[in-house]
Chains A and B, each alone.
Chain A
Amino acid sequence: MALGSEWVLAWARESARSVDEQRTQLGELDRAIGDGDHGENMGRGFSAVVAALDSLEADATPREILRVIATTLISSVGGAAGPLYGTAFLRAADAVGDRTELDATAIAELIAAARDGIVDRGRAGVGDKTMVDAWAPAADAAAAAAQAGDSEATVLAVAAAAAEAGAAATEPLVARKGRASYLGDRAIGHRDPGAQSSALILGTAAAAAVDPADESAENH
């Protein structure tokens, strides 16, 4: 079942709920290797997103919704995370274009565009202990699933799983970008907070694609 505006809206609202729930944990991850404000910043940003969604027209397209998410995150999340997430959603909006129904391939393209935006903006690569370590495996997994003919919900589910694994895999790494890079070996053993919030957001993208009424009927 192709996904449309309702999915994007549910994704954003679910992300706000999830980020708020994990606010303390994200803050603790960031306190270990950063400046400790990632949970607060993300919570504030997604609260602002929910407020901004309320002002959208009822017939807003996926692209319009993604752009509102992008500009709201850029202006309300402090630090580097604002422009990084903002660029991700901005590029996702561009990738969606005028489509109102997103099939599995479009979903994979959306995730790949978001990853490319983060890579372009942050100039980080895989293994640098950043958000890219969640987004890159997610984009690869989504592309492979779409290629194999999997459903939209499955594409998102494998992307979410890959992001979660990617975030966990940042723990043994030395950071090469961002504030944590100043810590050298002391960053080892700590999960990157940006990778973790990325995994959260990709997780909610998958959750939002599963219609509770159809969950048992979802064909895996």
Chain B
Amino acid sequence: MAGAGSTPRVGIVIVSHSALIAAGVVELARQMAPNTPLAAAGGTDDGSLGTSFNRVNAALASVFAAVDAGGATDADSGVVVLCDLGSAVLIAQTALELLDADRRARVVIADAPVVEGAVAAAVAAEIGGDVNAVRTAAEFSRGNAPTAEAGAAASVQPSVAAKVTGAAEPPAYVRTVTLINRDGLHARPAADFVRLAATFPARVMVNGKDAKSLLGIMSLGLLRGARVELSAQSDGAEAVDALARLIESGFGEESAL
């Protein structure tokens, strides 16, 4: 994939019946992806429950402006939209239909749960994923992110940055480290971990999960003191060492107590 670790070229719009939900999801996603353009379009024009076409339009315009200002105007740059219920989806679809042709070609609605989807999409965008990669990350957030055990699925439904390098072979390089930070591999450290993993082309496995799959990592539920096995083929030794160093550093949380 091009631009791993580079400036985000995809932004995300959250459309919800509730202004609080949309703003909260954006807040959560921003913690994972501080550089990714994110915008909330929740509630009606007067802020009550419902969906506002004007707010959706404004959110799309602001995210497109931020993406374009980042200099990412290639066809893979654009916007991924996540919606909650009923009319939020209808209004988002209609707003997309009214965009000019250039932007229309660069925006998709992800069929994904809003919270999990937004978090996964934000991390994918933060590590430089294109529109399709970000959408796929959101849609795989239902919990079926491709892993080594599902190598076949990964080939038809690629994960954010999946390069399946001989998933069936035994790993050539393995390191085991211990989680020392207070809260374990919770959302922010997990996002840092996935972002770092994505800067390497090699596939690294973490206790059987793809190191580039945020929700895969989070699903491990690793707490302080947990042993983390990092493994890769020989071309992934550098990545394993870097990820081991990050875990051993405590993710900068040593003083958090």
- A80 on the interface (CB 8 Å rule)? yes
Let me know if B53 and A122 touch, CB within 8 A. no
Evaluate contact between A86 and B87: CB separation under 8 angstroms.
no
Q: Which of B140-191 contact A (CB under 8 A)?
A: none
Q: Are A82 and B97 in contact (CB under 8 A)?
A: no
Interface: A43 (CB within 8 A): no
Cα-based distance from A121 to B96 in the complex (angstroms):
12
User: Which bracket fits the contact residues of A?
Assistant: 10 to 19
On whether the beta carbons of A79 and B87 are closer than 8 Å, the reply is yes
A194 to B: closest C-beta gap in Å: 12
For B92, the closest partner residue in chain A by CB is: A83
> Which chain A positions have C-beta within 8 A of B50?
78-79
Kindly state the separation between the CA atoms of A83 and B94 in the bound complex, as whole angstroms. 6
What is the 8 Å Cβ interface bit string for chain A, positions 88-107, against chain B (1 contact, 0 not)? 00100000000000000000
Residues in chain B near residue A79, CB distance under 8 A: 50, 87
When chains A and B are docked, how far (Å) is the Cα of A179 from the Cα of B51?
16
Which chain A residues border B51 with CB–CB below 8 Å?
Answer: 78
Q: Beyond A71-B98, A74-B94, is A80–B53 a contact (Cβ under 8 Å)?
A: no
**If A71-B98, A74-B53 touch, does A80 touch B87 (CB 8 Å cutoff)?**
yes
Q: Within 8 Å of chain B (Cβ to Cβ): is A202? A: no
B residues less than 8 Å from A178 (CB atoms): 86
In the complex, the chain B residue whose C-beta lies closest to that of A121 is B90
Known contacts A74-B53, A75-B54, A80 near B94 by CB under 8 Å: no
A75-B90 contact, Cβ under 8 Å, with A87-B97, A90-B97, A90-B98: no
B93 at the interface (CB under 8 A from A): yes
Contact indicator A121/B44 (Cβ below 8 Å): no
Q: Please report the C-alpha to C-alpha distance between residue A71 and residue B93 in the assembled complex, in whole angstroms.
A: 13
Would you call B91 an interface residue if the criterion is a C-beta within 8 Å of the partner chain's C-beta atoms?
A: yes
Q: Does A9 contact B (CB under 8 A)?
A: no
Min CB–CB distance A86 → chain B (angstroms)? 6
A83–B53 alpha-carbon span in the complex (Å): 9
A175 located at the interface, meaning its Cβ lies under 8 Å from any Cβ of chain B in the complex: no
- Residue in B90, B91, B95, B98 whose beta carbon sits within 8 Å of that of A122 in the complex: B90
In the complex, are the beta carbons of A78 and B97 less than 8 A apart? no
Option from A71, A75, A83 in Cβ contact (under 8 Å) with B87: A83
Residue of B nearest to A178 (CB): B86
Is A75 a contact of B53 with CB atoms below 8 Å? yes
Collect the chain B residues with CB atoms within 8 Å of residue A84's CB: 90
A80: chain B residues at CB < 8 Å are 86-87, 90
Q: Pick the contact of B93 from A75, A78, A83, A179 — CB < 8 Å?
A: A83
In the A-B complex, list the 3 residue pairs whose CB atoms are closest, starting with the nearest: A83-B90, A83-B94, A75-B53
